[in-house]
Amino acid sequence: VRITRPYSIASPPKDALKGFYELTIRKEENGFLTKFIWDTWKVGTKVESSGPEGFFYFDRLRDLNQIVGIAGGSGITPFRSMAKAIIDGTLNAKLTLLYGSSEEDDIIFYDEFKELEKNYPDKIKVVHVLSCDVVTLEGCEKGLITKEIIEKYCDVSSSTFFICGPQVMYDFVDKELKKFNLPVKRIRREAFGEVKDILTHTDFPKEVAEKIFKVKIYIGDLTKEIPAIATESVLVALERANLNPPSKCRSGECGFCRTLLIDGKVYINPVSDWRRGADKKYNYFHPCSSYPITDLEIVIPRDG
């Protein structure tokens, strides 16, 4: 069975020229794939990868040379790649990284970033922001990444912001950044996979949370009916049924899984609704960011 997941690359672009890519994959005990990776992958395991996707990268024609990275948890990964690219000269930029963690033990790449900051103080600045009650780490901020913390360490007027982390962090940081009235192009967000818990979204219909719906699927010459849990995306239901559906970003952004909804209703988180106007009009949806709230009838494309 083929299962796809998007992961940010932690190694710098120059390493790709040597055929080396480094990923940072945090184990989730109830995860659909990460536990399998941790338990079974070893040196020599072969995996298939697509090319790089998405828009979370520095563009010298679009972005200002002062980068403010706002990271949470394993969202630190792409900033490690950026930092190394700045150091090796691939990127002509400076990086101020505001890294939010729940506990000190949750910090990833702590020693590595500390060494980079020590050796290249004019290019790399790292500020740890811890939300735990007891903080012993020297020089860190306590709480969440607020407007006040951003202003304390960054020149907002001359910076481009890159944000990568869990959805709860996006929700909070977006509100803080809105206070600066920045142009849309000055804020870049990583498409960081599926929503972890759709029940945390206030507009999700809680009355269907315990329900399992039927999904009738047409894919090529195949017609099949499968179960779908309301709190899991339609894409996960298709994967559990071993149907090998097309997918890439798993966050609603790329449109690679674009599917026709013939009958039924799905819940789509407004933040993850990247559909074109025509797709909305003609009932197309992205299974990776859509959740069944009735029985469904759909037509999904073959993965070309």
Give the type of residue at 115. Answer: E
Taking the model in full, what pTM does it have?
0.78
Q: Tell me the residue ranges of DSSP E strands in 45-204.
A: 66-72, 94-101, 124-130, 141-142, 159-164, 187-189
Nearest Cα to Cα of residue 137 among 97, 110, 167? 110
Residue with tokens 């994967």: 239
pLDDT in tens, 3-26: 778 888 999 999 999 989 999 888
Type of residue numbered 223:
T
Q: In angstroms, how far is CA 200 from the centroid of its own chain? A: 17
Distance from C-alpha of 199 to C-alpha of 135, rounded to nearest angstrom:
30
∠256-259-221 over CA atoms, to 5°? 110
pLDDT band of residue 304 (cuts 50, 70, 90) is very low
Query: What is the C-alpha to C-alpha distance for residues 199 and 160, in angstroms, rounded to an integer?
Result: 32
Instruction: Output b/e per residue, 232-244; b: 16+ Cβ within 10 A.
Output: bbbbbbbbbbebe
How does residue 1 score in pLDDT terms, banded at 50, 70 and 90? low
Q: Which residues contact 48 (CB under 8 A, 6 or more apart)?
A: 2
Question: What are the C-alpha distances in Å from 294 to residues 110, 261, 266?
Answer: 46, 12, 7
What is the C-alpha separation between 193 and 259, in angstroms, rounded?
18
Per residue in 194-249, pLDDT (tens digit) is 777 888 888 899 999 999 999 999 988 889 999 999 999 999 999 999 888 888 88
Domains of the chain: 53-189 (3.40.50.80), 206-299 (3.10.20.30)
User: Alpha carbon of 7 to those of 53, 75, 146, 202: distances in Å?
Assistant: 10, 10, 27, 28
Return the amino acid letter for 78. Answer: P
pLDDT (tens digit per residue) in 47-85: 888 877 777 889 989 999 999 999 998 899 999 999 999
Q: Which residues pair with 115 in a beta bridge?
A: none
Q: Tell me the mean pLDDT in the region 256-284.
A: 93
Determine the pLDDT at residue 191.
67
Beta bridge partners of 223: 218
